[in-house]
């Protein structure tokens, strides 16, 4: 079974956290906590963006014409909304 890179990172961080008592400094622990937080935020943003893209891709050409919308502009706006 192939695992995603974010899953591997999360598992690595969990393993490191479980070894905190083995002499890790507070700075190292904070680094890994920060890394885990960023990984979770990235996964959340990616999930939200993929959901928006799937919804936009679900529109037919007729739907887009009725809305007077351009698919590429909608995808650009979705990206901007999620990632800033």
pLDDT digits (tens, 9 = 90+) for 13-49: 777 666 655 555 677 778 888 888 999 999 999 999 9
Domain count, the chain: 1
pTM, full prediction = 0.65
Pairwise CA distance, residues 69 & 72, whole Å = 9
Pairwise CA distance, residues 16 & 7, whole Å = 14
Domain hosting 50: range is: 5-83
- Predicted confidence at residue 47, as pLDDT, reads 95
């Amino acid at each position: 079974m192939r695992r995603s890179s974010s899953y591997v990172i999360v598992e690595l961080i969990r393993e490191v956290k479980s070894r905190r008592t083995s002499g890790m400094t507070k700075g190292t622990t904070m680094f890994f906590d920060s890394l885990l937080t960023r990984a979770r935020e990235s996964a959340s943003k990616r999930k939200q963006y993929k959901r928006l893209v799937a919804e936009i891709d679900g529109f037919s050409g007729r739907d887009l014409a009725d809305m007077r919308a351009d698919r590429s502009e909608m995808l650009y706006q979705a990206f901007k909304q999620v990632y800033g």
